[in-house]
Amino acid sequence: MSTSTGPRSSAKTPADDATAAPTQSAAAAAQRPRKIIAKYGGQQGEQNNRILSAESSFSDVTALNGQAPIPDMLITGQEAAASGAAEPTPQAVLPTAAGETGAESSLSINSSRQTTKSTLYEQMRKECERIEENLLRARREVYLQADVAFLMQRSDTELSNLQIAQAKEIKEKIESFEKNMKGRSERKETKKFQRSTMRRTKYRDMLILKQQTISKAATAIRLTVVEQREAFDILMVHVKAIHEQQRIDEASAHERKLDFEKAINNLEIDSQPDEVRDNLAKQFQVRQTHQAVLNKRINEHLREVQMVEVRHIKEKFDFERNCAEEAGNLKVLHAARIAEQIEAHVLEMNNEKERLQAEHEAKKQVLITHLHQVEVKRLQHAHRLALRNMKSEQEQRLAAFKHQRLSGNGLGTGAGSISSKLTSKMASRQESNADIDDASSDRSSQVSASPSRIAAGINGITPASSTFGGTRRSGNGSHTPTGSHISEDDDIRSTHSDDSRTHRVNAIASLVANQRQEKTNLMATLKAEMTELEQSHSAQMGEMDEEQRLELEKLVMEQREELELLRALQEKEMLVEQSVHEAEMVTMVERRVLNSVFASVNDGIINTTSDGTITRFNPAAVEIFGYTAAEAIGQNVSILMPDDIAKDHNRFILSYMNTGIKKVVGKSRRLEGKCKNGEIFPMQLSLSEVKEQDEHLFTAVARDLTKKVQLENEIREKEELEQRELQKLIGELDVTKAKTEDLLSQMLPRSVANQLMDGKQVTPQTFDNATVFFLDVVGFTTMCASMHPTETVSLLDAIYNTFDEVIQKYDAYKVETIGDSYLIVSGIPTPNGDRHASEIATLALEIMSKVHLFQFERNPSLKLRVRIGLNTGPVVAGVVGTKMPRYCLFGDTVNTGSRMESTSQPMRIQISESTHAMLKAAGGFQIVDRGEIEVKAKCWCVCGAAAQGKGKMRTYFLNGKENFPYELPPQ
């Protein structure tokens, strides 16, 4: 095409009018796409501009109606537009330039119009067709862009709606999960509270049962104690009845024995003389008395044995009752311990179940939460796939729509395609949402079914069906299988359920085994305790039986020994009494002989008391003194003598009684007598003494010398013979009396006296340990020199009487008193263990107290002072002599004790080391160490042997004793 242009004519032709209407219609038609572009434009602005430029160029060309030449530039742009160029040319978008150049080229156009008119119109027609085609193409493109924009907006809306629905779905799922979990927690708490309530109820019932069991056991124990008490009362009544019958039988036996002995004794003494009968009656009375004493003691022994038996029965009953109570209490304690263990086991089992349940529940919650999270993730993944598929579908749909519009031939086709595409898209989206809803429904049903699966898992049952079966639609409408995921979840739950069930079963089985072992151990322990208690009770019962048997045997043995000792003592007493009776018989015979002698002798025989009262006056005395026996008896002997002779006689007797110095006693002297008529006559008076029951009896033999003076020489021999005979009789009587009294009152130990009375020889005896006591009055010789002899005797008598009273309080024996020396021993002749030292020490303290407070009645200003010595060790004791036997001590212990006294200080008690050791062991004595002193040789007179010096010896002073009740002299 030529690019040259000619001037165009400015005159209007009918052709121009003819073309005006189509041009206006074309302009009006061009406004419709502009409105559409303005409504749906935005992103396709550049393409809309190209469409508007093309429509403007087409309107300009139509308006020219052939009056102006068409520039080549325009033609070139139109051709480019007709060819579908992507970018518009500058010629196509500048129609005003043609307008500006139209005047200049109008001349050339007019000149060449004729030549080129036909070609130009043809070209214009073609150009118009091209423009129309381009315009239609541009309009289709505008419609396409509008549809694309509409589709894109709809796609964005669909995506937004889908995201909102997905978010809502996830939110609903989460809220549903939280609601289910909250409901599950509430149900679990409710069940836990129910289980706790049930367990508390069971625990309360268990406590009530335990209290009832303990109460029943206590009631059983009380009933047992009551039954035992009733049985014991019955037994005591039976035993008391038996004991009473035994005492009655024993008393009857004693009475029968006394009766037949009395009958036999009566038969025995009937044929005896009177004197013998009286003696035998006295002997029988003594035997009866002894037998009564023995029977009384036997009855006392029987009562003692019965009391011991009753006490043994009571002790055994008390012990059995205590054993029963102890066993019952132990059983109650065992029952309580078993109940406590059962309670602890139940509590432990409940706690273990709760722990396993809590652990299982925690694991289940973790599993449910994990499955929920997995499900949410899967749902989110499905949502993302749905969004991705929707975007892919939208892109495919848009590309297909563009392709269809570009290849189609009309607007109707495009609208239908859009409608069909939208319909297809909505259907696809609905299917996708349906798939998502199905999946959500599946997951919701799975979550909602989880509590049942958990319960089934707890009970060991796994659901056979799964809510994850079937298929799932994909975002593009296809179906994808989800069975693998469902199978994995089921496997997880099944494995968890099996493991949890196995774990719980193992834990419960282990706990049950431990509890069973604990119960076995407890039962074994309780059985061992009960066995040990029963063995202990059996052993204690055996020990009690043995102790009671030994006690009873010991009591019976002691009673038997006591009875034997009593019988022996009674036999000795009977022997002594028999000897006394024999002596009395002898004395009676001798008295008869003496009376006959008294009646036949020519000498007057007068018996008087110590105060001179006449108790017997023989016929010769009646003849000599002229008094009858009735007149003389009861009078003082001074009536038979002149006054001066009577005074001297009384003074001599009183001096003898006070001092023991014999001036007239035991002597015969010549003096003057006095008759009843007052006549004085010479007489021979002999005075003798006889002691009877601590009474001094004097016998005076008076012979009238008046008629015999002249015959004195003749009859002296005869009188001397008679006097000797009389003295012999009196002497024999005195000897017999002295022997009898010596057997009864000799100051000898009981064992020694018994041996002597039995006529046995007393052998010396060695004592391993005894304590001797020596006492000496300080300055006694000086005191005696300043005193009258009788006063000296009275002083010694007062001192020894005081000492004798003290000795009676202690286990001690007075051995000897020589002048002012005093010997006491403890532990001899009867051993007293280790008490002899403390006995002698306490006795010495009391004697020292008595000496400190001693006052002599005849000389109150006299202050008595003594030295005391104590020693402990082995001693040999024995009887020396037979006529006047003396119980003497021998050995170095006695010598050392004497030296303890001689080396002591006035008013002090000196003790040796051996005595100090024993007093220290006894305790309570106040002792001061004196130190070592020189002990020279000295032998006490009781042993009569020489002793060697001791040299240095450590001695001590005994100053007092704790809680001593008497006042001691200051040290």
What's residue 296's pLDDT? 87
What's residue 894's pLDDT? 92
How would residue 40 be classed by pLDDT, with cut points 50, 70 and 90? very low
What's residue 849's pLDDT? 92
Phi, psi for residue 702 in degrees, rounded to 5: -110, 130
Would you call 567 helix, strand, or coil by DSSP?
helix
Note the pTM of the prediction, 2 decimals.
0.36
**Which two three-digit tokens encode residue 323?**
């054993």
Residue 403 amino acid letter: H
Least confident of 341-345, 414-418, 616-620: 414-418
Segment of 22-26, 544-548, 684-688 carrying the highest mean pLDDT: 544-548
Residue pair 770/872 in contact (Cβ under 8 Å)? The answer is yes
What does DSSP assign to residue 678? S
| pLDDT tens string 185-196 | 888 888 888 888
Residue pair 877/754 in contact (Cβ under 8 Å)? The answer is no
What's residue 872's pLDDT? 95
User: What span, in angstroms and rounded, lies between the C-alpha atoms of 144 and 373?
Assistant: 45
292-297, long-range: CB < 8 A, 24+ apart: 292/258, 293/566, 293/570, 294/563, 294/566, 294/567, 294/570, 295/254, 297/562, 297/563, 297/566
Residue 920 or residue 212, greater confidence: 920
Asked whether residue 164 carries a pLDDT value surpassing 80, the answer given is yes
Mean per-residue pLDDT, 660-679? 83
HSE, side-chain direction, 13 A CA sphere, residue 415? 3
What's residue 205's pLDDT? 85
What's residue 836's pLDDT? 93
Least confident of 373-377, 404-408, 748-752, 857-861: 404-408
Segment of 29-38, 131-140, 264-273 carrying the highest mean pLDDT: 131-140
| pLDDT tens string 912-954 | 999 999 999 999 999 999 999 888 754 444 444 444 557 889 9
Cα–Cα distances in Å, from 345 out to 351, 517, 690?
Answer: 10, 11, 105
User: What span, in angstroms and rounded, lies between the C-alpha atoms of 632 and 616?
Assistant: 8
| pLDDT tens string 76-126 | 344 444 444 344 433 333 344 444 455 556 666 666 666 667 788 788 888
User: What span, in angstroms and rounded, lies between the C-alpha atoms of 357 and 598?
Assistant: 134
Residue 109 or residue 547, greater confidence: 547
Residue pair 281/269 in contact (Cβ under 8 Å)? The answer is yes
Phi, psi for residue 30 in degrees, rounded to 5: -70, -20
Mean per-residue pLDDT, 208-233? 84
What's residue 217's pLDDT? 80
Residue 847: other Cβ atoms inside 10 A: 24
Return mean pLDDT, the chain: 76
Phi, psi for residue 714 in degrees, rounded to 5: -75, -40
Mean per-residue pLDDT, 883-887? 77
Asked whether residue 447 carries a pLDDT value surpassing 50, the answer given is no
Residue 162 amino acid letter: L
Q: How far is CA 13 from the centre of its chain?
A: 144
For the chain, what's the residue count?
Answer: 971
User: What span, in angstroms and rounded, lies between the C-alpha atoms of 517 and 494?
Assistant: 34
What's residue 567's pLDDT? 85
Close Cβ partners of 941 (under 8 Å, ≥ 6 residues apart): 818
Close Cβ partners of 258 (under 8 Å, ≥ 6 residues apart): 288, 291, 292
Q: Please give the helix or strand (H or E) that residue 379 lies within, else none.
A: helix 274-407
**Which two three-digit tokens encode residue 636?**
């003082």
| pLDDT tens string 580-622 | 777 777 777 777 776 776 677 777 888 888 888 888 888 888 8
Residue 74: other Cβ atoms inside 10 A: 22
Cα–Cα distances in Å, from 535 out to 332, 532, 542, 549?
Answer: 19, 5, 10, 21
Q: How far is CA 426 from the centre of its chain?
A: 90
Residue pair 501/364 in contact (Cβ under 8 Å)? The answer is no
How would residue 61 be classed by pLDDT, with cut points 50, 70 and 90? very low
Least confident of 264-273, 623-632, 762-771: 264-273
Residue pair 48/30 in contact (Cβ under 8 Å)? The answer is no
In percent, how much of the chain has pLDDT > 70? 75
Mean per-residue pLDDT, 411-418? 44
Please list the helix, strand and coil fractions of the chain in percent, rounded to the nearest 5, in that order: 70, 10, 20
First-to-final CA distance of the chain = 179
Cα–Cα distances in Å, from 400 out to 136, 144, 290, 389, 899?
Answer: 21, 12, 159, 16, 158
